[in-house]
């Protein structure tokens, strides 16, 4: 397994009201093929912006992104994104929303089979004809994930897609995404502010500082899947990340998602 | 979801909805019956019915409606199509937006009615001038609402399209246009409703057929019965258009 994404010294500045604001500063790390990487940071640290830069939806002010060794200029076809909001087309049903992820080049004969496969994978069989307004938040996110996966991208970018879900649905979705990750052998990059989620899902956690986002630490999570949330090792890693955000590192880690 | 209504509720609904129309008809009946107002000012229901029978017999009633309606359809289609196309261009291309901004701001506030004499001067008293009045009214309604709709499209959906590798053309067809469509439909609704007003006004000023012409003619000839038939005809026509438009709206936007 080689390196699939190289993030090389990426800077990002926004001009807001004529004032330059630094969002990201010197972000530099690699993602290996098949790896599950989480980017953790407090809100406003530029982690979503970083994801958009990787996808080619935003330009970096400095530095560059390489995918398979080639620099990203404009939308990167290898990267599909699941956004914070499901962003479904409200006038299309589940079947057609998932089909929207397919390119024009996919022949009609294959479309139906593919769509059905992904509807199955995200557990929405029987909801093909449902409209987005008829779905719960979790189901909407499943549609969005199926839509991102159906074009078989190498890299799936997850921008806090479970952030708005209730705790139980979120745990469920985390399990589903791990299942898909293993089945489909994708590289996943997740942005989250949920420390436990990051430890539970990923091989590697990139911790960003507050604005401007800089890498504070990169932590490899050496735990076997499926990880047990209550275990001591699990707590060790969550505490390691927690320490990076809060000075009172003596305090017992006592929080829940 | 609305619960199924029981029979009693339906009757009650019908009674409340039709209370004022029925009361008005009753009042009309009584005022003329007891001679509270002069028959030359408010004709009796019977007189109106007679006028209606006369117009039907001579086939004038239907002919007038067909004249007015065909003017509406021609003008509406012309104005709506130009309005939508230009609206899409203004909404999507910033340069076109800047080019047209002053023009739109300057000409839009002019009431269409004020331009009728000008259209007659330019295009004569034939069909063209009346069709143009309706086309212009519809054009503004569509232009403004299409621009609003296109500019109001959720940028996040466009970003999604880009991420999914859609071409510009595909994004316009599959995201921008459907997302702007409710607003465009509002323009169509305003356009068709105001078209009724424009056609009647234009026909009152210069025409030799049509519902507006008939009303003016009846006033000149002091035939209040026919005048009333014309007014009721417009009212009913408006009612039918409104019902159809709302039904279609419910169907088209059932996803909301």
Domain extents in chain B: 1-37, 40-252
The tally of CA atoms less than 13 A away on the side-chain side of residue A161 is 30
Q: What is the mean pLDDT of residues A24-52?
A: 89
Give the mutation candidate from A56, A88, A91, A98 for the B interface (greatest B CB count, under 10 A).
Answer: A91
pLDDT of B147: 96
Chain A interface includes B170 (CB < 8 A) = yes
B26 touches chain A (CB under 8 A): no
Residue A257 has pLDDT above 90, yes or no: no
Asked whether B195 and B138 are in contact (CB, 8 A), the reply is yes
CB contact under 8 A, B165 and A151: yes
Question: What does the pLDDT read at residue A250?
Answer: 54
Q: Determine the distance from the C-alpha atom of residue B102 to the mean position of all C-alpha atoms in its chain, rounded to a whole number.
A: 27
Q: What is the DSSP letter of A213?
A: B
Mean pLDDT of A80-89: 93
Q: Does B152 touch chain A (CB under 8 A)?
A: no
Residues B230, B244: Cα–Cα separation, whole Å? 21
pLDDT at A236: 85
Q: ω into residue A226 within 30 of 0, thus cis?
A: yes
- What residues of chain B score a pLDDT lower than 70? 1-7
Name the CATH topology of A1-78+190-257. Answer: Rossmann fold (3.40.50)
Does residue A80 belong to the interface with chain B, where contact is any CB pair within 8 Å?
Answer: yes
Average pLDDT, chain A: 87
Chain A closest-CA separation from residue B157 CA (Å): 6
* Cβ–Cβ below 8 Å for A83 and B162: no
CATH number at B40-252: 1.10.3720.10
Model pLDDT, residue B53: 92
* A197-226 average pLDDT score: 88
CB contact under 8 A, A85 and B156: yes
Q: For residue B6, what pLDDT is reported?
A: 62
Per-residue pLDDT at A249 exceeds 70: no
Residue with tokens 């994801």: A51
What is the model's pLDDT at position A248? Answer: 55
B123: exposed, middle or buried (Cβ count in 10 Å: 0-12, 13-18, 19+): middle
Q: What pTM, to 2 d.p., does this model score?
A: 0.82
Chain A (59-78) residues lying within 8 Å, Cβ to Cβ, of chain B:
75, 77
**Residue A130, preceding bond cis, omega within 30 degrees?**
no
pLDDT exceeds cutoff 60 at A252: no
In chain B, what residues touch A90 (CB-CB under 8 Å)? Answer: 255-256
Alpha helices (H) in chain B, listed in sequence order:
7-33, 45-57, 60-92, 94-107, 112-123, 127-151, 155-163, 168-171, 177-205, 211-220, 224-252
Write the CA distances from A61 to A50, A53, A71, A215, B195, integer angstroms: 11, 10, 14, 17, 53
């Amino acid at each position: 397994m080689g390196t699939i994404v190289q993030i090389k010294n990426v800077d990002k500045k926004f001009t807001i009201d004529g004032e330059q604001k630094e969002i990201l500063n010197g972000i530099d790390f690699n993602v290996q093929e098949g790896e599950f990487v989480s980017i953790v940071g407090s809100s406003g640290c530029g982690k979503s912006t970083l994801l958009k830069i990787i996808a080619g939806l935003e330009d970096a002010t400095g530095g560059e992104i390489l995918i398979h060794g080639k620099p990203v200029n404009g939308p990167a076809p290898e990267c599909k994104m699941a956004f914070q909001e499901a962003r479904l087309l409200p006038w299309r049903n589940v079947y057609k929303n998932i089909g929207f992820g397919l390119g024009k080049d996919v022949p009609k004969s294959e479309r139906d089979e593919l769509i059905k496969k992904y509807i199955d994978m995200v557990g929405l069989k029987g909801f093909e004809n449902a409209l987005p307004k008829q779905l719960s938040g979790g189901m909407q996110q499943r549609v969005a994930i199926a839509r991102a996966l159906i074009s078989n991208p190498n890299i799936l970018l997850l921008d806090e897609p479970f952030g708005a879900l209730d705790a139980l649905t979120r745990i469920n979705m985390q399990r589903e995404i791990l299942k898909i990750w293993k089945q489909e052998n994708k590289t996943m990059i997740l942005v989250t502010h949920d420390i436990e989620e990051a430890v539970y899902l990923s091989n590697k956690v990139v911790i960003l500082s507050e604005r401007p986002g800089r890498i504070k630490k990169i932590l490899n999570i050496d735990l076997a899947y499926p990880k047990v949330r209550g275990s001591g090792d699990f707590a060790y890693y969550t505490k390691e990340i927690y320490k990076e955000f809060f000075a009172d590192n003596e305090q017992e880690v006592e929080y829940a998602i | 979801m609305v619960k199924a209504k029981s029979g009693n509720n339906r009757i009650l609904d019908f009674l409340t909805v039709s209370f004022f129309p029925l009361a008005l008809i009753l009042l009309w009946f009584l005022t003329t019956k007891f001679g509270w107002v002069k028959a030359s000012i408010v004709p009796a229901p019977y007189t109106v019915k007679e006028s209606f029978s006369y117009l039907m017999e001579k086939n004038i009633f239907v002919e007038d409606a067909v004249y007015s309606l065909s003017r509406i359809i021609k003008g509406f289609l012309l104005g709506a199509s130009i309005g939508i196309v230009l609206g899409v261009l203004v909404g999507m291309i910033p340069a076109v937006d800047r080019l047209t901004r002053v023009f739109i701001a300057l000409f839009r506030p002019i009431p269409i009615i004020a331009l009728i004499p000008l259209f007659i001067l330019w295009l004569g008293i034939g069909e063209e001038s009346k069709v143009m009045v309706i086309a212009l009214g519809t054009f503004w309604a569509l232009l403004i609402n299409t621009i609003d709709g296109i500019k109001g499209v959720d940028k996040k959906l466009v970003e999604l399209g880009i991420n999914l590798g859609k071409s510009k053309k595909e994004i316009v067809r599959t995201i921008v246009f459907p997302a702007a469509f409710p607003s465009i439909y509002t323009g169509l609704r305003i356009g068709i409703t105001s078209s009724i007003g424009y056609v009647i006004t234009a026909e009152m000023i210069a025409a030799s057929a049509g519902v507006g012409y008939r009303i003016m003619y009846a006033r000149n000839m002091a035939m209040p019965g026919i005048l009333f038939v014309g007014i009721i005809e417009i009212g009913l026509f408006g009612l039918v258009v409104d019902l159809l438009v709302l039904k279609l709206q419910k169907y088209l936007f059932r996803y909301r």
